[in-house]
């Protein structure tokens, strides 16, 4: 059986192909203005790279904030359920997921079958999200890809007290004007995210092992700050950003009773 999962996020669209028990391939592209077009594009590119035709695909499941715009999908499933299924497929022992995406951050508690028992989500404020990091990177004139490594060079992280994205940006601009080293400011930004996200995770109960998913999982500075706050090592797979799409593909194959 061949199934495809498509996860339409605010910044990126992700796809995953599941073939007879394993993930055949994944793909990440920018969502852009048209989420429907992004869904079709990631689907076509995914199949092309895997050498699979559309006629060979048995079922397609879409997830993410733009899931209802993926017209080629046979079914839509919430990202909460798909992240649980994806994490369980990749690492069955995982009991807690922290997902930081472009427009929201989530914490999920899983049972032994990968079912989401409880979750908490921050979707009302940009603080603690990938979009927040993008804004901060622009303000500091640092490439976002370099953000994590630069923060590890910090000797003393700057204190950023506000948990509001707008006010935090004002604090960062004030620190810049005072000549605060970039690496200290960046480390302070990561610490402020860790404070917010760890508090959210503790509301659902942090049970090890803990997996981090989403695009921000590629930011080593954010990862280290979270590990320090939670006092635990975070499991990060090579497919962290595509976890939701992987879960959607697995669920499409009917391998889980989560739906």
Half-sphere exposure of 249 (CA within 13 A, CB side): 33
Q: Residue 258: its pLDDT value, please?
A: 47
CATH homologous superfamily of 1-91+240-259 equals ATPase, nucleotide binding domain (3.30.420.40)
CA distance 16 to 65: 17
Q: Residue 5: its pLDDT value, please?
A: 98
What DSSP designation does 233 have?
P
Sheet holding 210-213, edge to edge: 116-122, 105-110, 96-100, 210-213, 234-235
User: Given 1.20.1420.30, 3.30.420.40, 3.50.50.60, 3.40.50.720, which CATH number is that of 93-236?
Assistant: 3.30.420.40
Residue 233 pLDDT class (50, 70, 90 cuts): very high
| pTM for the model | 0.91
Residue 102 pLDDT class (50, 70, 90 cuts): confident
Task: Using CA atoms of 109, 112, 113, 119 in order, give the dihedral in degrees to the nearest 10.
Answer: -10
Average pLDDT over residues 205-210: 97
- Percent share of the chain, pLDDT over 90: 78
The number of angstroms, rounded, from the C-alpha of 83 to the middle of its chain's C-alpha atoms is 9
Residue 210 pairs in a beta bridge with 96, 234
Q: Residue 123: its pLDDT value, please?
A: 63
Q: Residue 77: its pLDDT value, please?
A: 97
Residues 6+ apart with CB under 8 A from 88: 94, 110, 113, 114, 247, 256
DSSP string, 119-172: EEEE-S-STTSHHHHHHHHHHHT--GGGHHHHHTT-SSPPP----SHHHHHHHH
Question: Do the Cβ atoms of 148 and 222 come closer than 8 Å?
Answer: yes
pLDDT tens digit sequence for 44-90:
999 999 999 999 999 999 999 999 999 999 999 999 999 999 999 99
pLDDT tens digit sequence for 148-161:
999 999 989 998 87
Q: Residue 91: its pLDDT value, please?
A: 96
Identical fold between 1-91+240-259 and 93-236: yes
Q: Residue 256: its pLDDT value, please?
A: 45
Lowest mean pLDDT: which of 19-23, 97-101, 129-133? 129-133
- How many CB atoms neighbour CB 254 within 10 A? 12
Place of tokens 């060079």: 153
The structural domains of the chain, with segments of one domain joined by +, span 1-91+240-259, 93-236
Residues 6+ apart with CB under 8 A from 98: 105, 106, 107, 197, 201, 210, 211, 212, 213, 226, 234
- Using only C-alpha atoms, the chain has a radius of gyration, in whole angstroms, of 18
Residue 219: is its pLDDT beyond 60? yes
Q: Residue 165: its pLDDT value, please?
A: 66
Task: Please tell me which residue, 138 or 165, carries the higher pLDDT value.
Answer: 138
CA distance 40 to 21: 24
CA distance 239 to 214: 9
């Amino acid at each position: 059986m061949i199934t495809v999962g498509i996860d339409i996020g605010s910044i990126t669209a992700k796809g995953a192909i599941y073939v007879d028990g394993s993930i055949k391939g994944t793909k990440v592209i920018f969502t852009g203005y048209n989420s429907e077009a992004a869904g079709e594009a990631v689907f076509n590119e995914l199949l092309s790279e895997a050498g699979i035709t559309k006629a060979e695909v048995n079922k397609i499941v879409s997830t993410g904030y733009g899931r209802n715009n993926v017209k080629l999908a046979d079914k839509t499933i919430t990202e909460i359920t798909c992240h649980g299924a994806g994490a369980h497929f990749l690492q069955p022992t995982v009991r807690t997921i922290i997902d930081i995406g472009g427009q929201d951050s989530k914490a999920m508690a899983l049972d032994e079958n990968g079912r989401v028992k409880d979750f908490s989500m921050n979707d009302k404020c940009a603080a603690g999200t990938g979009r927040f990091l993008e804004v901060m990177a622009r303000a500091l004139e640092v490439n976002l890809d370099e953000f994590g490594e630069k923060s590890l060079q910090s000797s003393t992280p700057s204190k950023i007290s506000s948990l509001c994205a707008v006010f935090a940006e004002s604090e960062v601009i004030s620190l810049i004007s005072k000549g605060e080293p970039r690496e200290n400011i960046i480390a302070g930004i990561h610490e402020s995210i860790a404070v917010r996200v760890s508090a959210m995770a503790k509301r659902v109960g942090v049970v090890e092992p803990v997996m981090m998913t989403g695009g921000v999982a590629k930011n080593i500075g954010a990862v280290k700050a979270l590990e320090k706050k939670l006092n635990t090592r975070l499991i990060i797979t090579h497919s962290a950003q595509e976890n939701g799409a992987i879960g959607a593909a697995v669920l499409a194959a009917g391998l889980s009773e989560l739906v």
